[in-house]
Structure 1
């Protein structure tokens, strides 16, 4: 009887995830899922440590004043831990069951450098997720994809990788920083929403393209299989993460670890999701890990994410200059918005100056003007 049940479950998994069609099997997919989870499990420790410094603790303390709080001693930090696991599980389950792709999702580590209050950040991320759902689920997906070339996607996705490294230095007491406050002005909030929309969309596309290429999951035109479904999963997960009270949920580059082990279907993702759910029962272990212990993990994450910078064409000065300003400004001003603004302003300037304006989409000019207005009207926020 037990053997029959096992066969029925295997048959269901085979038919649902199309394992044979993807030249895989249940054992390979589960092992691949375990591998992916192990490589990205650091986020369970890191995310609560990052967010508590941004004020997500029972005293609303920020920076050094928040270091005394932990998952084991503070209910708010503990809630962030739960939100981290649940958001990762939800996003990864959606990717597995809906898109049938071996890509795992989890909250990112970029929240504290954007420069607005926790409430404002979560609101902006919720709005951003809703906007992306609308864009991706309709035919206007071509608009944001027409903003820059695929190469310039890496201008947005590579520089934020420095953020976890800088956060690591902060945990280790090697770096002190001043806060950058974005006020309640409508234009400023609008630009923040646009910025994180672009960053999240381009970061996800870059991750999907790199991981899918490694897995050989491209169609005859070289495009990622079920790209639209994958992007929609990312947008839905981002919205869910905002409602749960955690940072943006995005596709993790660590998914390549599972792909390298043979993961080819959504069963790999589902396995990762199950492991994130099981992690909820180990909150006591997380509470024992101090912030300083997560610093090395953040540095490693920064190194791995920064690898996408090699895809930027630095031989083309019209691509190199915007990339340089973006890479320099994002970490040193502790603002993704500042770095993205630099890219969106200098990119069209360089193309026009070299007579290559035909390479630009009209929306590039609109965004450049909006970012310029933002700095003219609100130079210090």
Structure 2
């Protein structure tokens, strides 16, 4: 009864626009159900884009280090990667906005891109062509699992407390990514993992100060309840970086060199390179070097499982944030899961790493975005980025890194909801956080949390309370760790 009264009250409070076009949009995207406004959606969409725009340049940089299976001196075309990243992001996010009506952005994400280059292409010796095939096959398998009731059943089998643990581990992970982008950590040349060392402050003090100042601005605006504080902080931080990058000697601006305009924009459009990436991958279907490599089949399993658990954990976390303040709890809908799984097929064909649910979408949700309109804002901005990429590419990672840390701070507040007095949740929470951060992969934290949960339930003689699907899931996760060991 209370819930019904709250729903009626919210519906009465909602104001419909007198403009016919806006009224139709409000109806289609269910603004009344989500108690949102066009201003919140636009601002949330812009905030999300500013927080994740770095992926266009970072993804290109990482994937362009992938060597060919036929010639180690040949690598993927960098513009082709950038263009494919933008196109795949546009298509998947457009579907998220129009069909699923969620404020979630899809793009080839961090973690999956390093797996593509340094594990699949290099360590497993598949080359970028074999890595593309692995992504394609894994995405098809992921989509098949999602089309059947299997994915929904697995997600329903996971206790709510474990879902909260996943959210907290993602918070630590995204903050860790942010601190690395600011310059606090060094990226290990062999493992491609960020290594924490305060000694780097001496080398990167300028970048760290700029990043921390931007983070401080975000916190200031947040607690002063300034609308659009994250986006405003990113713009201010960007302007300050431009000033330093164009006045200091080049030897002192390594992490903000993208904002250095003294030599103009070092970028050109190479659509032939985009086509070459696609052709190289598709022609390798006939290459026996790919199919005779046993690492291919292990990689397909690893990529599929990483996509499944990474994205499922991210979707649950973002959905929890989206439901805050709403009278009715909205579950992750079926279109969202189908788009999430199916869009990776496109990535394997066009020549980029697997599609990811961008946890930076949390920044927009925090600003009030709750519908697909925020996703459509990102679609437009990704399109603009293709034309104005030289401008968007100049936003230094020290600024976007601050946004990642800020998101992590907000998300980690869920840590209070973990049932720390129960060992079946306290121990998995601890392990999930440690493994997500130290292995630089969310899925490892998710996997160890599920495995340890089942193990502790056995120890404390509560195995009968564990959902029956958790046990076969544990076997799959054990197989995942074994498979991962063979390709690393």
Query: Shorter-normalised TM-score: what interval?
Result: 0.7 to 0.9
- Counterpart CA distance in 1 for 2:399 and 2:369 is 27
Report matched runs for 1:27-176 at 5 Å. 29-53=41-65, 76-114=77-115, 115-117=119-121, 118-119=128-129, 121-156=131-166, 158-159=168-169, 162=173, 165=176, 169=180, 174-176=186-188
Relative contact order higher in (CA < 8 Å, ≥ 6 apart):
2
Aligned match of 2:315: 204
SS state of the match for residue 106, structure 1?
strand
The Cα offsets for residues 59-110 of structure 1, whole Å up to 9 and x where unpaired, read as 9689xxxxxxxxxxx9722222212222221122101111223333333211
CA-based RMSD of the aligned residues comes to: 4.0
- Counterpart CA distance in 2 for 1:249 and 1:352 is 36
- Do the aligned residues in 1 keep the contact of 2:180 with 2:401 (CA within 8 Å)? no
Given the alignment of the two structures, is residue 223 of structure 1 paired with residue 358 of structure 2, yes or no? Answer: no
Residues 32 and 149 (structure 1), Cα distance of their counterparts in 2 relative to 1, 3 Å cut:
same
- Counterpart CA distance in 2 for 1:315 and 1:120 is 47
The Cα offsets for residues 110-152 of structure 1, whole Å up to 9 and x where unpaired, read as 1255433255554444344334433444433432214421332
- Do the aligned residues in 1 keep the contact of 2:179 with 2:405 (CA within 8 Å)? no
C-alpha displacement of 1:304:
2.2
C-alpha displacement of 1:170:
8.4
The Cα offsets for residues 273-320 of structure 1, whole Å up to 9 and x where unpaired, read as 11111110123335656xxx4255346425524734625443322223
Aligned match of 2:338: 232
Structure 2 length as normaliser, TM-score?
0.60
Aligned match of 2:375: 269
Aligned match of 1:351: 457
C-alpha displacement of 1:336:
5.4
- Do the aligned residues in 2 keep the contact of 1:22 with 1:264 (CA within 8 Å)? yes
Residues 99 and 186 (structure 1), Cα distance of their counterparts in 2 relative to 1, 3 Å cut:
closer
Residues 373 and 139 (structure 1), Cα distance of their counterparts in 2 relative to 1, 3 Å cut:
closer
SS state of the match for residue 356, structure 2?
strand
C-alpha displacement of 1:177:
4.5
Gaps of 5+ in 2: 1-18, 122-127, 193-292
- Counterpart CA distance in 1 for 2:370 and 2:351 is 31
SS state of the match for residue 352, structure 2?
coil
Larger mean CA deviation between 45-54 and 101-110 belongs to 45-54
User: Which protein has the larger Cα radius of gyration, Structure 1 or Structure 2?
Assistant: 2
Aligned match of 1:323: 429
Gaps of 5+ in 1: 1-6, 63-73
- Counterpart CA distance in 2 for 1:318 and 1:128 is 32
Paired residue total: 354
C-alpha displacement of 1:263:
3.9
Structure 1 length as normaliser, TM-score?
0.74
Aligned match of 1:66: none
- Do the aligned residues in 1 keep the contact of 2:88 with 2:347 (CA within 8 Å)? yes
- Do the aligned residues in 2 keep the contact of 1:122 with 1:245 (CA within 8 Å)? yes
- Counterpart CA distance in 1 for 2:325 and 2:424 is 32
Aligned match of 1:278: 384
- Do the aligned residues in 1 keep the contact of 2:182 with 2:402 (CA within 8 Å)? no
C-alpha displacement of 1:364:
2.4
SS state of the match for residue 305, structure 2?
helix
Residues 121 and 345 (structure 1), Cα distance of their counterparts in 2 relative to 1, 3 Å cut:
farther
Aligned match of 2:274: none
- Do the aligned residues in 2 keep the contact of 1:51 with 1:111 (CA within 8 Å)? no
SS state of the match for residue 110, structure 2?
coil
- Do the aligned residues in 2 keep the contact of 1:215 with 1:260 (CA within 8 Å)? no
- Counterpart CA distance in 1 for 2:181 and 2:360 is 24
Larger mean CA deviation between 160-169 and 146-155 belongs to 160-169
SS state of the match for residue 308, structure 2?
helix
- Alignment counterpart, residue 244 of structure 1, candidates 339, 350, 370: 350
C-alpha displacement of 1:376:
6.4
